[in-house]
């Protein structure tokens, strides 16, 4: 693959909602979520402070902000799934991810978010592996994006995991780090 041919905003492509989600699709997504902590840790392994402060593309977040964003985003997703499993199609509250990425804690050591992602994903995967068919079809309502089932959210966040890990790995390849 030629890196210059990859859209730096979407290095794994944009998320495409499948018409039908199969049990194999769900299993693959759970596997991706289970692998994210190690994949993210490997992506930032041995990067120094200057490298962590480098935007993954012009106008993009820094590597440090990306790692913290994944922790923030996946915490929200985990809570949304738990709400979907315990309430009847709850309306969830969106958040301004761009503003979150500029809060002071976005300058914290990436290790803090890597540890959070590790624990969070262990619980999330454990929960997802326990679901029956009916639970996969439960969901939540996003005020801007409409209804989302637990199974669709699982696929979306598996894509999100690959998406942001690829931002970092593509930057590393481009910079020869």
pLDDT band per the 50, 70, 90 thresholds, residue 6: confident
pLDDT digits (tens, 9 = 90+) for 100-146: 999 999 999 999 999 999 999 999 999 999 999 999 999 999 999 99
Question: Looking at residue 2, what is its pLDDT?
Answer: 45
pLDDT value at position 5? Answer: 67
Percent of the chain with pLDDT over 70: 97
Domains, the chain: 22-43+62-175 (1.20.120.450)
Tens-place pLDDT, residues 144-165: 999 999 999 999 999 999 999 9
If you average pLDDT over every residue of the chain, what do you get?
96
State the pTM of this model.
Answer: 0.95
Query: Helix, strand, or coil here: 163?
Result: helix
Q: pLDDT band at residue 64, thresholds of 50, 70 and 90? A: very high
DSSP result, 44-104 = HTT--HHHHTSBSSTTS-BHHHHHHHHHHHHHHHHHHHHHHHHSSSPBPPP--HHHHTTSG
Q: What is the mean pLDDT of residues 30-35?
A: 98
Residue 138 DSSP code: -
Residue 93 tokens, joined: 């509250």
Q: How do residues 39-60 score in pLDDT, each as one tens digit?
A: 999 999 999 999 999 999 999 9
CA atoms within 13 A on the CB side of 132: 1
């Amino acid at each position: 693959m030629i890196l210059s041919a990859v859209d730096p905003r979407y290095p794994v492509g944009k998320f495409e909602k499948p018409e039908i989600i199969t049990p194999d699709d769900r299993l693959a997504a759970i596997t991706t979520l289970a692998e994210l902590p190690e994949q993210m840790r490997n992506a930032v392994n041995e990067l120094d402070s200057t490298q962590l402060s480098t935007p993954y593309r012009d106008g993009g977040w820094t590597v440090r902000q990306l790692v913290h964003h994944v922790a923030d985003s996946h915490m929200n997703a985990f809570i949304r799934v738990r709400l979907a499993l315990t309430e009847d199609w709850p309306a969830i509250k969106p958040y301004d991810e761009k503003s979150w990425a500029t809060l002071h804690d976005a300058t914290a050591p990436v290790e803090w978010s890597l540890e959070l992602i590790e624990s969070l994903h262990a619980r999330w995967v454990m929960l997802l592996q326990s679901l029956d068919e009916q639970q996969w079809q439960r969901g939540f309502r996003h005020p801007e994006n409409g209804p989302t089932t637990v199974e669709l959210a699982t696929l979306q966040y598996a894509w999100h995991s690959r998406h942001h890990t690829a931002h970092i790995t593509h930057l590393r390849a481009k910079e020869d780090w």
